[in-house]
Chains A and B, each alone.
Chain A
Amino acid sequence: MINCSSDIKMIWNEKIECASREEMRALQSERLVETVQRVYHSIPGYRRKMQEVGLVPADIRSIDDLSKLPFTTKTDLRDNYPFGMFTVPMSEIVRVHASSGTTGKPTVVGYTRKDLNMWAEVVTRSLVMAGAHRNDIVQVAYGYGLFTGGLGIHYGTENLGATVIPISGGNTEKQIRLMQDFGTTVITCTPSYALYLAEVMQEMGIRPEELKLRVGIFGAEPWSENMRREIESKLRLKAIDIYGLSEVIGPGVSCECQFQAGMHINEDHFVPEIIDPQTLQPVAPGERGELVFTTVTKEGIPLLRYRTRDLTRLIYDRCECGRTLVRMEKCTGRSDDMLIIRGVNVFPSQIESVLLEMSETEPHYLLIVDREGNLDTLKLMVEVQGQFFSDEIRELQALRMKITHKIESTLGISVDVKLVEPKTIERTAGKAKRVIDNRKL
């Protein structure tokens, strides 16, 4: 166990992060019972779902009863767009964030003052897990805005007492100049952007040794151990994986510690389960499956058994860092067809609906995701036929631009649209293959 004396904390909230399993379960039980009471009486959707399986709030007496509860999915959030899942009046909601949804409608989440304080707390814990302390200068290169990345890390950093550089995403040369001039010690961004920073740094003739970077906290997209080694050697820092999703809170749901052996889940707020995505039954302890979260302290938009669609496993062994918080492995995939491209959630159905809007016939298309020079690229191949065919070059070019703009404004990421001849996109007997992901993660 690493002890926390003096000014610099090695563990932010030792009482919680190092609690015994019994203590944690007691806390989770108490909070779950309270959450179920609250949502049952304030959200008709939850009440109906519980009634459908014959449950009343009194049936949930401890964390052992968690698996009796019905699931919540992204569809529930979408069907109740924008504020239907909020359990408090709008006057209590002090901020909203949103992420992309499956049909162009974003998934909206609302935070009360207390939620924001809780979020700052879990992000602060995460920063400390990553090895940051109050003397650090933290450059937040996640996007600020509806995306939870920027503001989430921002308030956690202030709560820690470290210095925030709220630069947001992009503007790569300026990012590097500020690292030099301000002496940035901690950088937070997506892992692919970290590699891009390293590349631009090299082009600018700046060696990482000239900088003071010590820790990188990277998340919002899947990355591999190989990528970690590459980032660590190119930027000369310790690369830490952070996990989160806006529905649950944002970044800070879980984070790696110095031992980089799985991400510690802030399970006093977000209770994890692993289920088999087919049978929907909990898997045996330690087995791989779909990650499900129940929020037990959130006020704005509490979620019962929210299916993340991320595939992983839980590790209950004690960690070398001394924390007892359960760890989750890096996510190895998804139980749906969502892609994460440059940190943005992309569903193939979003592309399909854009194409369908422009054509009466079913479009034949193929998405190709690649990683070129450390950045994800999205290529869309569309067969030129029916409404998508013209014998005039300028009309075809205008069509290509129209598809490009529509998709870019729907997804918020750039796309290279390629027009191809009819019947050149492979048809398979069953479901058409719509996505080729060439990224080696």
Chain B
Amino acid sequence: MAYQVSIFLENKIGRLERVTSVLKENRINIQNMSLIHTANGWGILNLLVSCPERACAKLCEAGMSASLRKIVALEMQDVPGGLDGLLTKIASAGVNFTNAYGRVVEPGQKAFFFIDADQIEDINEKLQAVGLTPVNDDLIYGV
């Protein structure tokens, strides 16, 4: 099972940089990121990194509120209609997700689609039942 790191951030100058400086210090590479902002002056930063457990521990040590969150990555073709085809299968598996994001792995060839799996029971079984195999953790973390 793969994990992303989620961090509570206030929308203020220098706050995102506090996170990246901790990662830099610990030589942790970022594979993917998404930042969601709310109208209340704060947001959640989701990071896919080379070693999520260590990243989370280091960020907490530095005084931030961070946690690990289960995700599932699915491979898809990097072509028009690629995501549509994948989503049709995910829907037929009866999997409903909240947060998601994507990453191109080989332009024009291959991409990964990440979905939030924290609240979904037996997600792997459900996906496998419709012929979808989650991407291996090593490939997700890029190690």
Contacts and interface: CB of A to CB of B under 8 A. Distances in A.
Do these two chains really belong together in a complex?
A: yes
B64 interface: yes
Interface residues of A, number: 17
Contacts of A397: 38, 40
Contacts of B67: 389-391
B63 A423 contact: yes
A53 interface: no
A422 B64 CA distance: 6
Interface in A389-404: 389-393, 396-397, 400
A389 B40 contact: no
B78 interface: no
Contacts of A393: 36, 38, 43-44
A420 B63 CA distance: 12
Contacts of B7: 391
B7 to A, nearest CB: 8
A91 B140 CA distance: 77
Contacts of A424: 10
A43 interface: no
Contacts of B9: 421
Nearest to A397: B38
Contacts of A389: 8, 65, 67
Contact of B40 (A385, A391, A418, A422): A418
B58 to A, nearest CB: 15
Interface in A369-412: 384-385, 389-393, 396-397, 400
B8 A421 contact: yes
A151 to B, nearest CB: 39
B53 to A, nearest CB: 15
A383 to B, nearest CB: 8
Contacts of A385: 65
Contacts of B40: 397, 400, 418-419
B8 A384 contact: yes
B103 interface: no
A421 B15 contact: yes
B64 A418 contact: no
A180 B126 CA distance: 71
Contacts of B69: 391
A291 B9 CA distance: 47
Contact of B64 (A390, A400, A421): A421
Nearest to B67: A391
Looking at B36, B38, B69, the one whose CB has the most chain A CB atoms below 10 A away is B38
B50 interface: no
B56 to A, nearest CB: 10
A423 B36 CA distance: 22
12 contacts: A384-B8, A389-B8, A390-B67, A391-B8, A391-B67, A391-B69, A393-B38, A393-B43, A393-B44, A418-B41, A421-B15, A421-B64
Interface of A: 384-385, 389-393, 396-397, 400, 418-424
Interface of B: 6-10, 15, 36, 38, 40-44, 46, 63-67, 69
